Chains A and B, each alone.
Chain A
């Protein structure tokens, strides 16, 4: 895959739900999931995102988007985090927030 970006998650019970949330948030995008046992790569070309809303839908209403950090041991590309979504892409952030 060219220009692969996206998270690398530690092995846990919640990986499948995060993958499902990412699929929901990136319709029509080709997503590659590589399972190496202790870690799982979830990548797409150039851009990938996951929203707090989808994460709550799959992991329960109490799940907070900040908790994604405890599952994500690395990522490919540049990251951009807000209260509503996490995005991975290449190149400088279009509109910095904060």
Chain B
């Protein structure tokens, strides 16, 4: 018997909806959960996903994906592949496991919220698949990380990280609570599937898989690129939502994308940037972080936004300048505050790496070379205390990342600048103009306090570095130390500062 084609029956099945008799629409789809705003309620009937899937197809395809991912993992379990991986690369995966696994769990709840409060049956149907996808991602990420716990206790943070108040976790929690936990369905579809999943996750899950494969981590490359095949589908909830929002409330559409584009860019500069330009061994790097950003975000994602009628964000110049600065500064910060991390940070500045960095980023030596040289000289003279933190970095009140972005000022110098504002008698400090502007526009939001603010409010005791490390849940067997036992520092004693051609 010939089966009907999906197009011949899916519309009827998918668009099943209730005709409400005993309650009104607002009771079932309340504004604070659904978020239609200025969009007329019936406008959502036009919502039409372009990446269609039926339940039988979904189940069959997911089964194939799972069989394939676990077959690779099972085969590699019996090999010595893990032992041959560079310690720096392993850190990139520890950062990923701890930073991502339970965010995938949060995303399950986010998809379920859209499955309940999404404003069209087609949308709610697609969100159900999204929820099943995110459940898979939580499980596979935890399982792959768990495999290595017996070899290295830092992998235990694959699950633990999100249950602590580590500053990296607090930063990510702040981002994802705003993106997922606190958002209504309409905003969430713009923030999560569209801005985050159609745009930025491609960097960590597809682009980084190119480095992973080169670094010999077939297992990790296989896992992340398998996950992204789900994302490519369920992220398409964003497009139809954006199309309707642009038609009825373009200001809200532009603002929501701009805001989460910026906040995502800050988070990826902290996690993906160092992974690509420092943690991946230099001989295995496919492209620089900047080149991957140009390929996936500045070219591909911006074309998508333009296709939906959106403009470049107001902060575009500051964002572009940040591509040469943010992740380099954050890598130095991650390394310097290494006891606060659940992985072993990589300096990534031996001679070959510095040469590569200067080729890819012509200002690198001018802005960062002398600072790493001072650190290396302290290491080479045995003055390790000078390379360890005695206090805390100021954390940005918006992105919760250290305020450490150097920029070139009118005074002709590269300086780390602070952007502050006063509100209700408090002075708030920000890493960039973009973060300050977003915070100001959303100043009535409930924001997480940064770990530094908690410290100053007396919530962290005793008020010293050991007290802060204890508050973050870090124990001596886990807290980070240099991934390569400081061997890189000796390259500075044998070389003069690199040329600054192209630098300012």
Contact = CB atoms under 8 A, between A and B. Distances in A.
A28 interface: no
A51 to B, nearest CB: 14
B152 interface: no
Contact of A76 (B10, B11, B214, B303): B303
Contacts of A39: 206-207, 209-210, 225
A8 B52 CA distance: 18
B64 A70 contact: yes
A92 B244 CA distance: 11
The range of chain B's interface size is 35 or more
Interface string A71-83: 1111111111111
Interface string B209-241: 110111000000100011011011100100100
A58 interface: no
Nearest to B221: A38
A73 B221 CA distance: 12
Contacts of B61: 66-67, 69-70
B221 A74 contact: no
A10 B226 contact: yes
Contacts of B232: 69, 72-75
Contact of A70 (B68, B205, B303): B68
A8 B206 contact: yes
A90 B225 contact: no
Nearest to B8: A83
B300 A38 contact: no
The range of chain A's interface size is 35 or more
B178 to A, nearest CB: 25
Contacts of A96: 48, 50
Interface string B1-37: 0000111001100100000000000000000000000
A7 to B, nearest CB: 9
Given A78-B50, A81-B50, A38 B209 contact: yes
A77 B5 CA distance: 25
B225 A38 contact: yes
Nearest to A34: B295
B221 A98 contact: no
A29 interface: no
A71 B225 CA distance: 9
Contacts of B251: none
B307 A98 contact: no
Given A37-B213, A38-B209, A98 B11 contact: yes
Contacts of B10: 98
B57 interface: yes
A75 B296 CA distance: 10
Interface of B: 5-7, 10-11, 14, 48-53, 57, 60-61, 64-65, 68, 202, 205-207, 209-210, 212-214, 221, 225-226, 228-229, 231-233, 236, 239, 243, 286-287, 299-300, 303-304, 307
25 contacts: A10-B209, A36-B286, A37-B286, A38-B206, A38-B213, A39-B210, A66-B60, A69-B61, A69-B233, A70-B226, A73-B225, A73-B226, A73-B228, A74-B202, A74-B206, A74-B232, A75-B232, A76-B304, A78-B307, A81-B51, A83-B6, A83-B7, A91-B307, A98-B6, A98-B11
Interface of A: 3-4, 8, 10-11, 36-39, 64, 66-67, 69-84, 90-93, 96-98
Given A66-B61, A73-B209, A98-B6, 9 more contacts: A67-B64, A70-B226, A74-B202, A75-B232, A76-B303, A79-B50, A81-B52, A81-B53, A84-B5
Task: Kindly list the 3 A-B residue pairs having the minimum CB-CB distance in the complex, ordered from nearest.
Answer: A73-B228, A38-B209, A38-B213
